[in-house]
Structure 1
């Protein structure tokens, strides 16, 4: 079968022909139709799991995948051949991911049926980014009318987070380039901060760099319009310095989360701010709940583009995402 692999950590991802995996006892084999692309995939290829999880090489990349059950191993009771399913294809040993024509996964891993009306492309975009967004909203216990700042609102996690925070009743402030303001507004943002423009308090910057991320723009712009501060910060892109700047906007007793390990948790605790560096723990129950919201039309799956499997190396780590990239297998 065709798959996208790396021969060792740090190697260039490539299209390869590898054996079709068979379903062992308690396992489900899935014929994959679509696979999601996440920043984590590049980190895996570069060696994030080295020394943390046993890994088989050539390592097939990809975590998120959707398709149909093509075989079941002995003892499997939750799924049958022909079931449409979506899940996370990362279990020990790593290296048997979703960027392939077939993959196997234990039936008790993160794997759930795809409801009628949801395409495999949409489903494949959900597991990592969508569940992370849902877990963040759950952790912050957002209350109606709270002010929530989402830094990095146009990416995969951000696109879901804007919607889910809006559903929770928040006043959502989103950071995005100016030409993406309509996109985040449609997803539920009440305000958009264009981080490429000069901040309101600085009329002297005539031609700011349209590429560089200007942290002071975000912090000063939000403080200019919300001098009393915000209740919740979700920072999806920043390093420690920028996160610390954004966290100054959060009122004492509020919540601040980083998914890039940019938070100084001791500094947050000193200001009685809950949160810190966040890692999603959501599994099948959370994924099924998110799919229910998609089926009901409450959450839109923001697929930016769909590309063939062999294009995966070109889109891996491309950056500047506006929604999700999905591989058509």
Structure 2
């Protein structure tokens, strides 16, 4: 099969012909129709995970996927050949990624059915970003009438966070800089915006002198955002690994570790099918243009970048 992979550390990822994977016990094989780009993929390609995760060469890149089940491993129940699915590759090693024509994935975590009303392109953009968003909003414990600052609102995770926070009844302040970024987040429901290239906390406090009820931290320096939070508020972060990294007696700091359980993925799929949330796709690329997609991702995006695989 055709897949974007590298044969050794330091090699540039490119399209290779690799063996079609066979599903192990508890796995299904998915014929991939689309896969989205995440920061994790760039980190693997750059060798940043050397020594942190096992590499099984050739390492096929890619975490998110959407496609159709085409083979069933031993012991699998609840899925059949032909099922439309999406999710996140959750294996403990690097090698079996989704930037290829096929991927094998365990059914226990990282896999769910994709409703027919949700396209493969949209489904491919939901898994990792959507999971992080759901877990972050849940960690913030938002309530109707509260005010929340979303730092990193213009990215794939942030787009979902803004919409989920609005649905909770909270008033959303989103970080933006350009006109198109502002237009996007306000179209998703953000009531206010602040410029992330200026002092974000100062801008927030100018409009909300007592501070906001919650901060959802997806980008930027956590310490500079903490002053925007009221006493007793919650600071949910996908970038802070431990509360010790952001010491404070005035608020609760909650690290967010995105876990793509079936329940979470089902929730994402239902929200998308019901149009409670939408996915912003900035651009799509064929498989042989993953390098360009990586460069565009590194330059900054408004929404998600998706690889389509015929």
Q: Same fold (TM over 0.5)?
A: yes
Whole-angstrom distance in 1 between the partners of 2:106 and 2:116: 23
Secondary structure at the aligned position of 1:275 is classed as: strand
Whole-angstrom distance in 2 between the partners of 1:11 and 1:327: 21
| Equivalent residues in 2 for 1:1-329, closer than 5 Å | 1-179=1-179, 180-195=181-196, 213-214=197-198, 216=199, 218-238=200-220, 242-261=221-240, 265-266=243-244, 268=246, 270-316=248-294, 317-329=297-309
Q: CA 1:165–1:327 in 2, change beyond 3 Å: closer, same or farther?
A: same
Alignment gaps of 5+ in structure 1: 196-212
Contact 1:268 1:276 in 2 (8 A): no
Whole-angstrom distance in 2 between the partners of 1:160 and 1:145: 19
Secondary structure at the aligned position of 2:138 is classed as: helix
- TM-score computed with the length of structure 2 as normaliser: 0.93
Higher Cα Rg, which structure: 1
- TM-score computed with the length of structure 1 as normaliser: 0.88
Q: CA 1:152–1:93 in 2, change beyond 3 Å: closer, same or farther?
A: closer
Q: How many residues get paired?
A: 306
Whole-angstrom distance in 1 between the partners of 2:212 and 2:228: 6
Residues 69-125 of structure 1, C-alpha deviation per residue, up to 9 Å, x if partnerless? 111122222211111111112303321010000011122231111112011111110
Secondary structure at the aligned position of 1:248 is classed as: helix
Q: CA 1:158–1:81 in 2, change beyond 3 Å: closer, same or farther?
A: same
Contact 2:153 2:176 in 1 (8 A): yes
Secondary structure at the aligned position of 1:154 is classed as: coil
Secondary structure at the aligned position of 2:30 is classed as: strand
Alignment gaps of 5+ in structure 2: none
**Which residue number corresponds to residue 209 of structure 1?**
none
- Aligned CA-pair RMSD: 1.7
1:184 CA displacement: 0.6
